[in-house]
Amino acid sequence: MKKYKLCFFVLFFSLLSCVKQSPQLPSNKGILIDENVTSMLMINQKLALREDSVLYQFVRNDKSFKKSELGFWYKIHHTSSNAFIKDKDKCKFSYQLTFLDGKLVDQSEIQLVVGQKQIVVGLEEGLKLISKGDSATFIIPWYLGFGMTGDKKNVPPYKSLIYIIKVNK
């Protein structure tokens, strides 16, 4: 009988020892603040604020421009009675892309599915403010356009853009 009890206890304690313990964090590990990341964030915030003031100066004489919550400026030239464009809608539009100085960068016609991140964020969000059949102008700051890297072909880093678009029905 003593052998059975002993075997039972050995088996019981060996099963308990197989349970994985949760890891313990060292007591000297606190939340680390990366000073480089913090300083880069502050620099980018200052650059974005400076760009916002430049764009405001650019549109201040044309009262038909409105500023979106996201930070780009837009003016709708022609509105239709169609429903607004939304995520997952197929959208075909022609565009003319220029810099703030008026230099033509690109013009083309593209078809895409809205919300699939196929174009710059500012333009994609701008499309959601209009309907099929509308035409509009969007002034996209660099941080909602091609950002700090540019597009490696036509758009240099930190360059704001003007899109003049016409959405097909």
9 occurs within a structural domain: no
In the chain, the number of structural domains is 1
Mean pLDDT, rounded, of the chain: 85
36 occurs within a structural domain: no
pLDDT digits (tens, 9 = 90+) for 61-84: 999 999 999 999 999 998 887 888
121 occurs within a structural domain: yes
CATH number, domain of 77, equals 3.10.50.40
Residue 26 — very low, low, confident or very high, per pLDDT cuts 50/70/90? low
**Over 60: is that where the pLDDT of 144 sits?**
yes
125 occurs within a structural domain: yes
113 occurs within a structural domain: yes
User: Using CB atoms within 10 A of its CB, is residue 91 exposed (0-12), middle (13-18) or buried (19+)?
Assistant: buried
pLDDT digits (tens, 9 = 90+) for 85-122: 999 999 999 999 999 999 999 999 999 999 899 999 99
Q: Quote the domain boundaries for residue 156.
A: 66-167
